[in-house]
């Protein structure tokens, strides 16, 4: 079985991940597919695309997760705004990665949570407005009283505080001012799979069955 996952960014400044991998499935196993989307505004983070296997015992195993880009409304074009091809989402400085694997990215504001969401779980003090992990439904960050800054489905950060982080295996960090948000992390269960940047469009998932 061949799986290809694409994730978008809101325009052609920065890109989401393109992840490809082959996996073997058993009879009666279930695939859960969540196709990430861009945020409502240029300050909102893009969500990740998730393909998750549900085993016979009801447990979940991620197969491929394509990270979404962080926001760059001021067009600074710092490279950390791209999705991260490895598991750790990006911070908001050169060479910085988010080491809280499976958790939300850090917020760039104390008023609105602007980090992207990760796959495994949300932080303990997450509210209903914050972006959600896989088991939480993967909605993007939401604004209180308005939806115009909502992050993209797939865990994208809320853009009310400017330049939110992207969703993915680990969420990217949100920023403040004109600093771009960090892209979300990616994951591939196939050790021989491929990962690259270059997806600018709404999220997409292609599945090909191989006998």
**Beta carbons within 10 angstroms of residue 60's beta carbon:** 15
Tell me if 63 is assigned to some domain.
yes
Task: Please state whether the predicted TM-score (pTM) of the whole model is above 0.85.
Answer: yes
Give domain status of residue 209, yes or no.
no
Average pLDDT value for residue range 111-136: 91
Total number of domains constituting the chain: 1
pLDDT at 148: 87
Across residues 152-161, what is the average pLDDT? 94
User: Measured between alpha carbons, how far is 79 from 92 in angstroms, rounded to an integer?
Assistant: 9
Give domain status of residue 206, yes or no.
no
Domain that holds residue 112: 1-197
Residue 66 lies in a domain: yes
Q: How far apart are CA 41 and CA 207, in angstroms?
A: 30
Does the structure show a pLDDT above 80 at 145? no
Residue 134 lies in a domain: yes
- Residue 169 DSSP class: S
Residue length of the chain:
211
What per-residue confidence (pLDDT) applies to 209? 87
User: Does the residue 166 lie in any domain?
Assistant: yes
Give the whole-angstrom CA distance, residue 22 versus residue 3: 6
Query: Would you say residue 119 has pLDDT above 70?
Result: yes
Does position 8 have pLDDT exceeding 50, yes or no?
A: no
Tens-place pLDDT, residues 198-208? 877 788 999 99
- Cβ–Cβ under 8 Å, residues 185 and 130: no
Domain membership flag for residue 204? no
Domain assignment present for residue 175? The answer is: yes
pLDDT tens by residue, 32-54: 999 999 988 889 999 999 999 99
What is the C-alpha to C-alpha distance for residues 111 and 200, in angstroms, rounded to an integer?
30
Structure tokens at 188: 């591939």
Chain CA centroid to CA 204, Å: 13
């Amino acid at each position: 079985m061949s799986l290809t996952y694409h994730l978008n960014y809101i325009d052609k400044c920065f890109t989401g991940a393109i992840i490809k991998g082959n996996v073997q499935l058993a009879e009666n196993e279930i695939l859960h597919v969540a196709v990430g989307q861009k945020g409502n505004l240029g300050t909102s983070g893009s969500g990740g695309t998730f393909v998750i296997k549900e085993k016979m015992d009801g447990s979940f195993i991620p197969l491929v997760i394509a990270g979404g880009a962080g926001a760059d409304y001021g067009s600074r074009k710092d490279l950390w705004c791209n999705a991260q091809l490895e598991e750790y989402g990006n911070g908001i400085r050169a060479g910085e990665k988010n080491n809280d694997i499976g958790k939300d990215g850090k917020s760039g504001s104390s008023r609105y949570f602007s980090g992207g969401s990760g796959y495994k779980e949300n932080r303990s003090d997450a509210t209903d407005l914050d972006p959600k992990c896989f088991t939480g439904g993967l909605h993007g960050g939401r604004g209180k009283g308005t939806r115009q800054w909502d992050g993209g489905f797939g865990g994208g950060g809320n853009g009310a505080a400017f330049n939110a982080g992207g969703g993915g295996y680990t969420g990217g960090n949100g920023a403040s001012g004109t600093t771009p948000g960090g892209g979300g992390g990616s994951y591939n269960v196939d050790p021989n799979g491929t990962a690259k940047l270059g997806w600018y469009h709404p999220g997409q998932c292609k599945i090909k069955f191989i006998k």
